Structure 1
Amino acid sequence: MTYQVRLAAAVLARMKNLPDAALNALVERTADLVEEPWDAQALYPGRRDYRHTTFGDFGLIHFHVDEQAVLITMYELVWAG
């Protein structure tokens, strides 16, 4: 099953400032997640739907997995640069 991805406004705003290498790493990690969203750490104990993962050595992305809607919503991006 392939999930769709929705980017929150805060993520879109932060993406504008990413260098090309970081943006490419984010796109590659997102491509992996649409096929396997559970390949990331749970963000909260007891809540498997809220997760986070790194993208390369550049940063961290927080997202919510809605299994019913087959949708990943990325709502927070932290860039290490």
Structure 2
Amino acid sequence: MELHVAALAQMKELPSKEFDALLAKTVDLVEKPWDARMLLYADQPEYRQTTFGDFGIMYFKVDDAAELIWIFNAAWTG
């Protein structure tokens, strides 16, 4: 897993409950990245989005060849 600097900055602003939810979702993604079925771009299935907690959304890219998940955005609307 790799975190973009923007995602890291956004994570610093999360309340602890939402941060814990984001970490739990990240662990799930490491094990099953293709289970996140919401595509970010219809023509690029490696770019996906998923929710965490009650009001969070995370955007990431799955790179099967490198066995890498790159999280580039995490937003919380609460």
TM-score, normalising length from structure 2? 0.93
Quick one: percent identity of the two aligned structures?
Answer: 49
Q: Structure 1: any 5+ residue segments left out of the alignment?
A: none
Superposition RMSD in Å: 0.8
Q: Distance in 1 between matches of 2:46 and 2:76?
A: 22
1:11-55, CA deviations, whole angstroms, 9 ceiling, x for partnerless residues? 100111111100000000000000100111111112210000001
Aligned to 2:18: 22
**Counterpart secondary structure, 1:38:** helix
User: Which position in structure 2 is the counterpart of 1:65?
Assistant: 62
Unaligned runs of 5+ in 2: none
- Tell me the residue number matched to 2:72: 75
In the TM superposition, structure 1's runs of 4+ consecutive aligned residues that sit over 6 Å from their partners are: none
> Which structure is higher in helix share?
2
Confirm or deny that 1:9 pairs with 2:5. Answer: yes
